[in-house]
Structure 1
Amino acid sequence: MSRQTKFIPVREHLLKVQPCKHGGLVRKSSQQYGIPESQMLDASASLNPYGTPFDHPYTGLDMDNILHSALKRMGQYPDNRYVEFRKAAAGFIGKGMTAENIIPGNGSSEIIRLVAETVIEKGDIVLIPSPTFSEYEQQCSIFGAEIRYIKQDMLPDVPDEILQDARLLFVCNPNNPTGKMFTRKELEKLIDKCRENDVILFVDEAFIELADPSQTIVDLVQSNDHLFIQRSLTKAFAIPGIRMGFGVASVRIATLLNNARLSWNLGCVAEEVSTVLMNMEGGCYSRYLVESRDMISREREFLMEKLERRGFRPLESTVNYIYVDISDLSMDSVELTERMAAHGVLIRDCSSFQDLGKHHIRIAVRTREENERIVDCIRQVIQEWGREQAILYLERNLEKARDKGSLGSNKECNYYPCHYEGQDCTFCFCPFYPCQDERTEGKWITGSSGNEVWSCLECIVVHEPAVVKKMLSVLTAEGCTQQAIKKVWEQVMEPRLCSSQ
Structure 2
Amino acid sequence: MERVPHGSEPEAAGIDFSANVNPETPPGIEAAFQGSFADARTYPDDTAPAYRRAAADYVDVDPGQVVPTPGGLAAIRLALSVTVSPGDSVLVPYPSFGEYAREVRLQGGTPEFVPHDELLDTDPSGHALAIVCNPNNPTGEAADPDRLREFVAESRAADTPVLVDEAFLGFTDQPTLAGTPGVIVARSLTKLFGLPGLRAGFAVSTGSLRDRLERARLTWNLGVPAMQVGTQAMRATEFIDRTRKRVRQERAQLVATLEDHYEIAPSDAPFLLLEVDGSVADLLAAARERGIVLRDARTFRGLDAHVRAAVRLPSENRRLEEVLLDV
Q: Same fold (TM over 0.5)?
A: yes
Which of 248, 265, 284 in structure 2 is aligned with 1:315? 265
Q: Percent identity?
A: 31
Q: How far did 1:120 drift?
A: 1.2
Which of 216, 224, 247 in structure 1 is aligned with 2:176? 216
CA offsets, 1:381-424, max 9 Å, x none? x2xxxxxxxxxxxxxxxxxxxxxxxxxxxxxxxxxxxxxxxxxx
- Gaps in structure 1 of 5+ consecutive residues: 1-16, 55-60, 281-285, 383-501
Look up the match of 1:85.
51
The secondary structure found in structure 2 opposite 1:71 is coil
Look up the match of 1:396.
none
Equivalent-residue separation in structure 1 for 2:225 and 2:157 (angstroms): 42
RMSD: 1.6
TM-score (norm 1): 0.63
The secondary structure found in structure 1 opposite 2:137 is coil
Equivalent-residue separation in structure 1 for 2:143 and 2:294 (angstroms): 25
Which of 43, 47, 63 in structure 1 is aligned with 2:30? 63
CA offsets, 1:64-85, max 9 Å, x none? 2x13431111221111111111
Look up the match of 1:169.
130
Contact map agreement 2:8 2:16 (CA 8 A) in 1: no
User: Equivalent residues in 2 for 1:222-237 (5 A)?
Assistant: 224=181, 226-237=182-193
Match for 1:63: what amino acid? E
Equivalent-residue separation in structure 2 for 1:266 and 1:44 (angstroms): 27
Equivalent-residue separation in structure 1 for 2:156 and 2:163 (angstroms): 12
Look up the match of 1:336.
283
Match for 1:314: what amino acid? I
* Larger RCO (alpha carbons 8 Å, 6+ apart): 2
- Gaps in structure 2 of 5+ consecutive residues: none
Equivalent-residue separation in structure 1 for 2:206 and 2:143 (angstroms): 22
The secondary structure found in structure 2 opposite 1:363 is strand
Equivalent-residue separation in structure 2 for 1:22 and 1:272 (angstroms): 27
Which of 299, 311, 320 in structure 2 is aligned with 1:365? 311
Contact map agreement 2:179 2:206 (CA 8 A) in 1: no
| Pair 1:48-2:19 in alignment | no
The secondary structure found in structure 2 opposite 1:319 is coil
Equivalent-residue separation in structure 1 for 2:91 and 2:248 (angstroms): 31
CA offsets, 1:130-171, max 9 Å, x none? 11111111111111111110112213221x3xx222111110
Q: How far did 1:343 drift?
A: 2.5
| Pair 1:150-2:114 in alignment | yes
Equivalent-residue separation in structure 1 for 2:144 and 2:56 (angstroms): 21
Q: Which has the larger radius of gyration?
A: 1
Match for 1:182: what amino acid? A
Which of 12, 20, 24 in structure 1 is aligned with 2:4? 20
Structure (1/2) with the larger helix percentage: 1
Equivalent-residue separation in structure 2 for 1:237 and 1:135 (angstroms): 22
Contact map agreement 1:125 1:145 (CA 8 A) in 2: yes
Contact map agreement 1:48 1:210 (CA 8 A) in 2: no
Equivalent-residue separation in structure 2 for 1:360 and 1:41 (angstroms): 19
The secondary structure found in structure 1 opposite 2:132 is strand
Taking a change above 3 Å as real, the CA distance of residues 87 and 321 of structure 1, as seen in their structure-2 partners, is same
Contact map agreement 1:100 1:255 (CA 8 A) in 2: no
CA offsets, 1:86-106, max 9 Å, x none? 111001111xx1111001111
CA offsets, 1:104-127, max 9 Å, x none? 111111111111122211111011
Equivalent-residue separation in structure 2 for 1:229 and 1:62 (angstroms): 25
| Pair 1:267-2:227 in alignment | no
Look up the match of 1:431.
none
Contact map agreement 2:55 2:66 (CA 8 A) in 1: yes
| Pair 1:354-2:301 in alignment | yes
User: Equivalent residues in 2 for 1:100-499 (5 A)?
Assistant: 100-158=64-122, 160=123, 163-213=124-174, 215-220=175-180, 224=181, 226-280=182-236, 286-309=237-260, 311-326=261-276, 329-331=277-279, 333-357=280-304, 359-380=305-326, 382=327
Aligned length: 327
Q: How far did 1:53 drift?
A: 0.9
Q: How far did 1:24 drift?
A: 5.2
Match for 1:293: what amino acid? R
Taking a change above 3 Å as real, the CA distance of residues 115 and 174 of structure 1, as seen in their structure-2 partners, is same
Look up the match of 2:62.
98
